[in-house]
Amino acid sequence: MLEHYFGFTEFRPGQKEVISSLLAGKHLLAMLPTGTGKSLCYQLPTYALKKPTLIVSPLLSLMQDQAEQLKVRGEKRVLTFNSFLTLQQKKAALSQLSSFRFIFISPEMLALDYVIRAIQQIEIGLFVIDEAHCISQWGYDFRPDYLNLGEARQKLGEPLTLALTATATEEVRKDIIEKLEIKDMKQIVSTVDRHNIALFVEKLSRYEEKLERLVQLVQQFSGSGIIYFSSKKAAESVSEYLHNQGIDRVAYYHGGMEPDQRMLIQQQFITGQLRMICATSAFGMGVNKPDIRFVIHFHLPATMESYVQEIGRAGRDGEQSAAVLLYSDGDEGLPLHLMEQQLPTDAQVEGVHAVLLKSGEGMMDILKPMQEQLCQQFSLNEVQFRMIAQFLATKQDVAKPIELFKQYCYTRKSRNAQKLDQLLQWVRGSACRRVGIVQYFEENQAVNNPVCCDCCGMSIEQVMERWPHIVERQQADSFYWKRELASILCIKGTKE
């Protein structure tokens, strides 16, 4: 089946164990590193079980990418059910659910009663939760809408379930299982250590020095790469700066761009028209490009989990790659500010609370219709509003739970600060980078690696000596639209 449907003759580490467990009827939480082929872990069982698979995905772009990859491989029975669809398209899709093999859905859509009722009419063979760490309140990327998935799963008859993540500590994995309310859930946990990615932290004194070093690195590195920023504005400005320094085939990408523009940039990167992307964390999930040679962090990530997730996009082909984090004292200010914005303040919570008490109506009856007004009145972003709504949706008495929710926010902020501090200790420390990562995820000691990190005496020049020679050839042979168009139209000697 692996060869027939996917063209492979052997599994990657962890895939066979996951698939075998599912086909034996066992609910499963699988932690597999980024780039190890998690999608195949539910796609192959779907063909074996011969029943529809429901895949919950946190990002519309990720959902779209995974669906497109299936279609490219010839799979036509694919549905992406999300807010991009018109009301008429949603009705048509729900009336024909049984004709689809892979049904991708957002957690927001799965929380709607009419959607649940439609899915109840078909027999789901496999219920998949992608990026399952979003369920856990202690996960680095907690999403309030993911908390509904345990209830939704029960309404769907408790189908065979696969929860997938690349980065989750033991505490987060335990929380995922509790939230899903699956007592007999098996775990398959692979190492987070990507042996072919050399790790470097470079400490620089000021912003201008960071820019200069970035230019040196991208000129030195061959092959494709991603440069990560915590700011949309910085991603755009540094992309322009690199252009002005004579570095071409570079573009920026962030969540504030139009969907079609993001899709274009992503495809140009995948096909080799672009060599580098200056991106926020919005870029990377679902990007099917195995030959990314380097990942550079211009800004400090907020957690070890997000750092490991992002560097894991390099070297999916198994060839030598590098991850470089550029750090200056004070860099922690930006992630601290961003973390503050994730959670509502006491004043915001109390403001919404006062409106609800004054209304005298059912909490959720008034909360949802007033979303736009409340967000504007109390300067709430969408995530903050959803956190308040999700919390209040499970409470009958609005008075006392408000204090509980404020305490929850304090706890979350404290945990976030603790995670950032752990990452800072790793950045500023002199111990082996690789050992520090596996210890954070409570694994056994890392396997000895001759191409390890800056703390173990490795240099970027030594890593590049092990760079695959195929990189330059791939660049030379990369897709070029004018040449390709001329070939399709059988035009010889076309001027470019």
Q: What is the pLDDT of residues 163-190, one digit of tens each?
A: 999 888 898 999 999 999 998 999 999 8
Which CATH fold topology does 2-189 show?
Rossmann fold (3.40.50)
Residues of the chain predicted below pLDDT 70? 139-140, 286, 359-368, 393-401, 446, 470-488, 490-496
Residues 6+ apart with CB under 8 A from 384: 341, 342, 343, 344, 348
Q: Return the pLDDT at 93.
A: 92
Question: For the chain, which residues make up each domain, given as ranges?
Answer: 2-189
> How far, in Å, CA of 232 to CA of 253, rounded?
8
> How far, in Å, CA of 309 to CA of 285, rounded?
9
Rg (CA), the chain: 24
Q: Return the pLDDT at 481.
A: 59
Q: Return the pLDDT at 353.
A: 78
Q: Return the pLDDT at 478.
A: 45
Q: Return the pLDDT at 368.
A: 66
Q: 294-350: per-residue pLDDT in tens?
A: 999 999 999 999 999 999 999 988 899 999 999 998 898 888 888 877 888 888 888
> How far, in Å, CA of 405 to CA of 147, rounded?
15
The values of phi and psi at residue 292, to 5°, are -70, 120
Strand, coil or helix: what is 79?
strand
Q: Return the pLDDT at 476.
A: 40
Residues 6+ apart with CB under 8 A from 461: none
Q: Return the pLDDT at 472.
A: 43
Q: Return the pLDDT at 111.
A: 86
Q: Return the pLDDT at 393.
A: 64
Q: Return the pLDDT at 474.
A: 43
